[in-house]
Amino acid sequence: MPHIPVIYSDLYLTEYDTVDCENSYRVAGVHPAIAEIAEFIEPEPATVDDLLLCHSPALIESVKGDQQVFRIASLAAGGAIKAATIALERPSFGLIRPPGHHAGVNFNGGFCFFNNIAIALRRLASSGLARKALIVDIDLHYGNGTFDIFKDDPNVVFVNISARSREDFFRQLDKALSQAKDFDIVACSAGFDTYIHDWGQLLLTSDFKAIGTRLASSHERVFSVLEGGYYLTDLGKNVRAYLDGFLEACS
């Protein structure tokens, strides 16, 4: 059976000061659901220099005010960097927390502290490994932090999928991915709160598999990191379907 690289650490199970719904059970429930197809890889924390690629010193210092949060948030950013680096060779997924797409240059919120996917892409760009990037955000909520970081960057295109029907969701996704070949890498902020039983009340489990297939078919270099997803009963099943889509497209 083929496997997909999944960045994960038991430290992501750490409980820290955040809202009740963004808890360790999110990753704890996904881990066994994908174990059969995952090649689990340990991350290293992002350095302060990595964080400064996207965030102001003041924002970083504010997170440092809670050392436990800073430790786990830095490890989440490091997990995204690892996923992005692996994606230069094969698709990967970051089973990380806390999420990141609501963290901008000078602000954070929405359960996010640092912008994981943005830091990863800036790290690749600063290393000369991938300069042009397409970011597709499939989370229920707008990735305002990602937009803030890249709004003046001509090398990065950010597309936030916001739809009221399944048909419109895939129409927007296909339109975004139609330009994928123009970029060096494709990144996905993979939120699963668009699920029919989650806050978004929109997508089916089979839809997440279709999303994974479309992403993996769009470009040779693709990585995803976990953002939202709070219906714990089915979160593992939905992430598994998403990764099955990647494996099907790459087989």
CB 114 within 8 A of CB 55: yes
pLDDT of the residue at 2: 83
At residue 199 the predicted structure's pLDDT band, cuts being 50, 70 and 90, is very high
The CATH code of the domain that includes 61 is 3.40.800.20
Specify the residue for token string 């939202």: 228
For 54, list phi and psi in degrees, rounded to 5.
-125, -25
Domain count for the chain: 1
C-alpha to C-alpha distance for 49 and 58, rounded to whole angstroms: 14
Average model confidence (pLDDT) across the chain: 97
205-218 vs 232-250: helix crossing angle, rounded to 10: 30
State CA 153 to chain mean position distance: 20
Which of 10-24, 33-47, 169-183 has the lowest average pLDDT? 10-24
At residue 251 the predicted structure's pLDDT band, cuts being 50, 70 and 90, is confident
Q: Which residue has the higher pLDDT, 20 or 245?
A: 245
For residue 3, which of 41, 42, 39, 40 has the smallest C-alpha distance?
39
Dump pLDDT digits (tens) for 121-170: 999 999 999 999 999 999 999 999 999 999 999 999 999 999 999 999 99
Query: Which residues, 6+ apart, have CB-to-CB distance to 215 below 8 Å?
Result: 91, 136, 177, 186, 188, 222, 224, 245, 246, 249
Angle among Cα 84, 88, 89 to the nearest 5 degrees reads 125
Helical (H) or strand (E) element with 98: none
User: What would the mean pLDDT of 59-88 be, rounded to a whole number?
Assistant: 98
Q: Which domain holds residue 31?
A: 4-250
Dump pLDDT digits (tens) for 173-190: 999 999 999 999 999 999
Catalytic residues, which ones?
102
pLDDT of the residue at 232: 97
User: What would the mean pLDDT of 47-64 be, rounded to a whole number?
Assistant: 98
For residue 182, which of 150, 154, 152, 145 has the smallest C-alpha distance?
154
Specify the residue for token string 């059976």: 1
Radius of gyration of the chain (CA): 16
pTM listed for this prediction: 0.97
Residues in the chain: 251
C-alpha to C-alpha distance for 6 and 92, rounded to whole angstroms: 6
pLDDT of the residue at 1: 72
- The DSSP secondary-structure symbol of 16 reads -
pLDDT of the residue at 17: 85
* The dihedral sign for the CA sequence 222, 207, 182, 125: negative
